[in-house]
Copies of this chain bind each other. A is one copy, B any other.
């Protein structure tokens, strides 16, 4: 199935022309994000927190702790919503009304299932590590049983999801009397890495790991296309 079903919960009401229903677009947005903003309802009030995430096939893996309140409730079968957003640019139109941002946004909603099987949990953690810090899994020692027990991984299926993308120049109404002498366009925004900062206990001469280069390459792949 290559198209996302549009439900009452995933229909975009504002700027519906920006809704994308291609499942490949959903995957691409999720693959470009490092964190999802995950919400659960607690006592009628939404709680929203950033959570490290990674797509694994047709599910979004959410990385948390058994000590986190958000995750306790999500693991108990409460409905969760996870939104991944990339802010790709500031859009300078010739009026503030037409000014905007370019962005990619994916919202996934559903019931998340804790990954409990030890082998599946380790595979899920490897997947999350591979997404957030590619190459790192093989550079460090294996997790201990105690460490694995303290981690909670939730698997949120991509069954109900919406994607909204703006990747356009500045728009303007043709007849609103704006001066063409005012510059209009897009200031593209990207996430970039600065020089790595070693811990104090790293012996001088320790080589930088390949995983740092892979992270930088991944950030470059996640950046929007600038025309």
Footprint of B on A, CB under 8 Å? 9, 13-15, 34-35, 37-50, 52, 64-65, 67-69, 71, 79-83, 85, 87, 90, 92-97, 99, 101, 103, 105, 107, 109, 125, 129, 132-133, 136-137, 139-141, 143-144, 147, 150-151, 169-170, 176-203, 206-209, 211-212, 215-216, 219, 226-227
Contacts and interface: CB of A to CB of B under 8 A. Distances in A.
Contact of A13 (B46, B68, B202, B203): B68
Q: How many copies does the complex hold?
A: 2
B35 A85 contact: yes
Nearest to A100: B52
Given A37-B37, A183-B206, A183-B209, A177 B81 contact: no
B90 A46 contact: no
Given A81-B46, A83-B50, A181 B197 contact: no
B182 A199 contact: no
A198 B133 CA distance: 35
B193 A192 contact: no
Contacts of A99: 129, 133, 136, 140
Given A140-B182, A184-B201, A9 B96 contact: no
Residue of A85, A93, A141 with most partner-chain B CB within 10 A: A141
